[in-house]
Structure 1
């Protein structure tokens, strides 16, 4: 019965694909590898724009807007967290009301408008605060409107673009879907590499005025490239609100909670047989919803599948708390470390991601070639090649990265105390935590994108894939909470770990150690959930 239901869902999904005129898609003319590759090209440009700003907003808020270090860090984590949290809204819209193509267009335009607003503010000194003064209310309004317009745009883009790209491929060939998400992640890394090298250099040497202008041009180019492929895409018709269907299943289950199996007569003999065959699976209490004529088996199965994904989603959040440090405290560490290279070149802290990104980009073709070579052998069935295995390894490396970060920060503080001038330890020591966290993110996010898309119900692919980005969002928000809680608790027993403007007087090493312990415990919880999936 399970196989029959999956086949039925697959056929429904194929029939729902149309061309740009709303006619049934022709497999020989619409979809395929070329349109999927086009989405990867667009992602390179879009992610370059997003990351080049997100990773440097701490510096912008500190130097141009004159916020404190703690406020700047929290503003960045809140901005990035909101951007990724809004992917749930973007996924809901593209599953329910608009095609993923339309959702991307609308979202990209909104993000572009937000960037233009920040560009205008950066170009006019009257819209920025005077030296040593924080922004006025009107200046803050302009800044926040620009920031959160970008966040809204990013939320829609991240939810719609990867699913739109995967929709172009044959879902009967899982290795094609897996390869797409590997190459899509490669596109993310390539955009990050351009952000960490070219764009960081522009921001450091030419200022934010030029950086914003380049971002405007690049994002507009990404929008144009995406639109050019519209005659060749195949489009997934929206199927109505998945939230409404889930609520209906729970409501029907609650109404029939005390009903016995003998009362299953509303769907006839076939529906009763199907419900009985489903009773062995997880969340079998939801089968009681089938007693209502308004609920069908596909809706119950859809709800069960979504609930089954949630434990995996929840156990990936803590890893992203570590990732948040690279845009906040790690940047602040780098600013006060020795960034000189041969006394001629000053290394921007954010450019430390270049080497890990190069390693990750190079690893994608190696990984794909290994899969292709061993496609018909048992090696490809190894857990490390499966999404859950890659996610688990990524979570383990997150704990390792925080242990390394704690040791490096303790060494930096020790060396600073020994030297009267302060700046002694080389910034290259931070490279280790960048490396471990970059690989952790590659394994975890890449595995999540493939896992949530492949396991999602056909009518909920956007919103389920958005769980990957939502995990990042929750991680950034929880990072802000952990900073406040750590300061509150440590302040009661002496000095706040992360209080004040001087990082040399803080205890960032203890905060990193706390994250290491929390991530290790989270990893153990993930192993339990993954084995039960």
Structure 2
């Protein structure tokens, strides 16, 4: 029922909001693009709030509160040396942690300065402040923060993917507007080609699950075929190919516009809009690898009591990606229109170089991929204790 309700509300709200803008007015068109940015922003802020602020009422307290407790306790004990024997760090007895619904986490040697929060000082022994988490935290609580810090670079490097995905509803549509939209006697609305993104997801999900995973399992020995990080990396590669495909289509379009003498005419060129299908299809394939891999990664690697928080952070990348795309577009427009030049993305795309914008996004994505690979190689998976029910 929730899925049906969400499916009915979201498309109606976005369409209703967009219908308030006049497509014939350039200023209104610009504001409509801003509306979609804020619409996505609000959706993901709502998801973020549901996974952070609302969970304060959950048993075990807010994850953000526990993070603050570790930081404050470690800061208060900045002058205390962390014992070399990690068994001397504070942890509750038994198999379960002090955090309700969370398994104990094994101690790691990274970010040792945070271990001060779990170091039992002479003042703790005298005041018996073992029950005050603002003064003394458990090893599990400290490890929760360490996991969040380790996950941050992976999270940050997925934002650029969302910037690529944002082209589905922005520059891809602008490109489609100046392509031949006629298929026989029927005109294809440029925005409708995003359907091929959805079709691609529908094709790639069963293909990945039933064919790619069994094949990969034989080579990697992993039950899932690929690790979450490998899966996300493949998606980032596919997103680069999507931008390259869009750039090549635009190069060909501009070549036809020049040969037909349409450079200074604001009109569509005689090149079928169906040439955009590969770029939409590649974005859809990238979604299956990166987005699903991201959801799985943040669920599996998040501390047991912080899964809602981490899932909320994963959704925030969509909003940030949309805004980074807008910022890049604004910067490109500013610098490429200096000296009276029409710029890369003028009102008449036949006079511009939209291909260079796509190449720029591809280049940024490639650099991001290199950073992601480096972060993935250095990433250490969490180690949680196993509960014994026997």
TM-score (norm 2): 0.78
Contact 1:61-1:67 within 8 A present in 2 as well? no
Alignment partners' CA distance in 2, 1:82 and 1:497? 32
Contact 2:344-2:356 within 8 A present in 1 as well? no
Alignment partners' CA distance in 2, 1:263 and 1:393? 40
2:245 equivalent in structure 1: 404
Q: Rate the CA distance shift 1:372–1:296 in 2: closer, same or farther, 3 A.
A: same
Q: Rate the CA distance shift 1:378–1:514 in 2: closer, same or farther, 3 A.
A: closer
Shift of residue 92 of structure 1? Answer: 0.6
1:289 equivalent in structure 2: 117
2:50 equivalent in structure 1: 90
Any idea what the Cα deviations from partners look like across 1:276-297, whole Å, max 9, x if unmatched? Answer: x966432222111113642222
1:79 is aligned, of 19, 39, 48, to: 39
2:189 equivalent in structure 1: 348
2:64 is aligned, of 232, 240, 243, to: 243
Contact 2:89-2:119 within 8 A present in 1 as well? no
Counting helix residues as a fraction of each chain, which structure ranks higher?
1
2:144 equivalent in structure 1: 302
Contact 1:94-1:462 within 8 A present in 2 as well? no
Alignment partners' CA distance in 2, 1:511 and 1:430? 16
**Runs of 5+ consecutive residues of structure 2 not aligned to the other structure:** 95-104, 121-129, 380-390
1:329 equivalent in structure 2: 171
1:464 equivalent in structure 2: 310
Contact 1:58-1:327 within 8 A present in 2 as well? no
Deviates more, 1:241-250 or 1:76-85: 76-85
Any idea what the Cα deviations from partners look like across 1:455-494, whole Å, max 9, x if unmatched? Answer: 1112111110122211111110111111111122223355
2:227 is aligned, of 380, 386, 411, to: 386
Alignment partners' CA distance in 2, 1:289 and 1:492? 54
Contact 2:44-2:318 within 8 A present in 1 as well? yes
Contact 1:318-1:475 within 8 A present in 2 as well? yes
Alignment partners' CA distance in 1, 2:227 and 2:4? 25
Alignment partners' CA distance in 1, 2:190 and 2:13? 14
Listed as ranges, the matches of 1:25-44 within 5 Å are 42-43=2-3
Contact 2:299-2:311 within 8 A present in 1 as well? yes
2:21 is aligned, of 44, 61, 68, to: 61
Any idea what the Cα deviations from partners look like across 1:221-280, whole Å, max 9, x if unmatched? Answer: xxxxxxxxxxxxxxxx44322111111111111221221135999x97764999xx9664
Alignment partners' CA distance in 2, 1:51 and 1:450? 26
Residue 291 of structure 2 is aligned to residue 438 of structure 1: no
Alignment partners' CA distance in 2, 1:489 and 1:66? 21
Residue 351 of structure 2 is aligned to residue 505 of structure 1: yes
Deviates more, 1:292-301 or 1:375-384: 375-384
Contact 2:52-2:308 within 8 A present in 1 as well? yes
Alignment partners' CA distance in 2, 1:64 and 1:512? 26
Residue 42 of structure 2 is aligned to residue 50 of structure 1: no
Alignment partners' CA distance in 1, 2:38 and 2:286? 22
Q: Rate the CA distance shift 1:404–1:495 in 2: closer, same or farther, 3 A.
A: same
Q: Rate the CA distance shift 1:425–1:382 in 2: closer, same or farther, 3 A.
A: farther
Alignment partners' CA distance in 2, 1:298 and 1:92? 19
Alignment partners' CA distance in 2, 1:312 and 1:451? 10
Alignment partners' CA distance in 2, 1:337 and 1:369? 37
TM-score (norm 1): 0.58
Shift of residue 308 of structure 1? Answer: 1.5
The count of aligned residue pairs is: 350
Alignment partners' CA distance in 2, 1:374 and 1:399? 24
Alignment partners' CA distance in 1, 2:219 and 2:172? 42
Contact 1:95-1:460 within 8 A present in 2 as well? no
Alignment partners' CA distance in 1, 2:16 and 2:370? 34
Any idea what the Cα deviations from partners look like across 1:90-137, whole Å, max 9, x if unmatched? Answer: 21134322xxxxxxxxxxxxxxxxxxxxxxxxxxxxxxxxxxxxxxxx
Shift of residue 332 of structure 1? Answer: 2.2
Listed as ranges, the matches of 1:238-277 within 5 Å are 238-261=59-82, 271=91
RMSD after superposition: 3.5
Contact 1:486-1:496 within 8 A present in 2 as well? no
Shift of residue 348 of structure 1? Answer: 2.0
Shift of residue 454 of structure 1? Answer: 1.2
Q: Rate the CA distance shift 1:44–1:439 in 2: closer, same or farther, 3 A.
A: farther
